[in-house]
Amino acid sequence: MIKHITILGGFDKNGNQEKISELKVCSGEVLAVVGPTGSGKTQLISDIEQYAEEETLTGRKILINGQPVDKPGKKSLSRLVAQVSQNMNFVIDLSIKDFLLMHARVRGISNPEQILPELLYVTNLLSGEPVTLTTNLAQLSGGQSRALMVADVAIISNAPVVLIDEIENAGIDRLQALKILTGQGKIVLVVSHDPTLMLMSKQRVVMKNGGMDKICQTTELEKRVLKDLIGLEEQVASLRERLRQGENLGAEDGIKADVEEKERRILWQEYRYTSL
């Protein structure tokens, strides 16, 4: 059982020691990995996925429950990390039911038929157009594929560590996906440029020039701003669904922003580079 993982700092792209020498993430927590494109976000996720032992370009070391992972142990831990990315499509010629049953049997789940209704419910909760168990995987859109994989990771894979790479553009209800995964007590690391996802995390690590540059704890002010952002997104989602259904909008359908200008200004001044 993985209770926490620890990232021991290595070096940035210039060979300088990372400013963050140790970063710990516990079960049930979300860590946002933020920073501009090319700042090293994906490499950090890769180091965690590989259980790096100072052999990667960064020289980082990953500890599991405070202990290093020996090389023979890496193979047994490979199933304890699952990844959901924005680029995910199926080419296999199977129905959703056959795919899920096959994966459940590989994972050693007894009576896999019993979990199919829950898997289908979670998939359709996250995706737009609903699917059925008889739907062929090759017919799924990108968003439906990712919704299915989130359900699979949450229920079948049962991996205690989940790596999420920029799912804000994945065509699914990303906030609901994050709630489902963290509700399972998983360690969730989210690579994102989305301020809403960033603020849903307990803390965020700011990447710069390939190194961990700063740790930002989510403040009470940011939690209030998060509520406003979620409210705005719910309004946008409602309007989007009505337009998808062929409705016309009226004068009363304008978006109301409740975030105070002062709070916006404070956040921008303090954390402007985390939202690049």
Kindly report, residue by residue over 208-263, the tens digit of the pLDDT. 999 999 999 999 999 998 988 888 888 887 888 889 889 998 878 777 655 555 55
Across the range 137-158, mean pLDDT stands at 85
Q: At 146, list the tokens.
A: 């990712």
What is the model's pLDDT at position 235? 85
Across the range 15-22, mean pLDDT stands at 96
What is the model's pLDDT at position 237? 79
- pLDDT-above-90 percentage for the chain: 34
Amino acid residing at 110: S
For the chain, the structural domain boundaries read 4-218, 220-276
CA pair distance 103, 181, nearest whole angstrom: 18
What is the model's pLDDT at position 268? 52
pLDDT at 273 over 50: no
- Answer with the residue of higher pLDDT: 197 or 167: 197
Q: Which residue is associated with the tokens 């699979």?
A: 152
In the CATH scheme, what is the code of domain 4-218?
3.40.50.300
Contact 212, 59 (CB under 8 A): no
| β-pair type (187-191, 30-34) | parallel
What is the model's pLDDT at position 164? 82
pTM of the full structure: 0.79
Q: Which long-range contacts (CB under 8 A, 24 or more apart) does 171-179 make?
A: 171/127, 171/128, 171/141, 171/142, 171/143, 171/146, 172/126, 172/127, 172/143, 172/146, 172/147, 173/125, 173/126, 173/127, 175/200, 175/230, 175/233, 176/125, 176/126, 177/84, 177/126, 177/147, 177/150, 178/30
pLDDT at 155 over 80: yes
Q: Which positions ≥6 away from 213 have C-beta within 8 Å?
A: 18, 19, 20, 35, 206, 207
Across the range 118-141, mean pLDDT stands at 90
Mean pLDDT computed over every residue of the chain: 83
How confident is the model over 35-79, as pLDDT tens digits? 999 999 989 998 998 889 999 999 999 999 998 876 555 555 556
- Answer with the residue of higher pLDDT: 87 or 132: 132
What is the model's pLDDT at position 275? 47
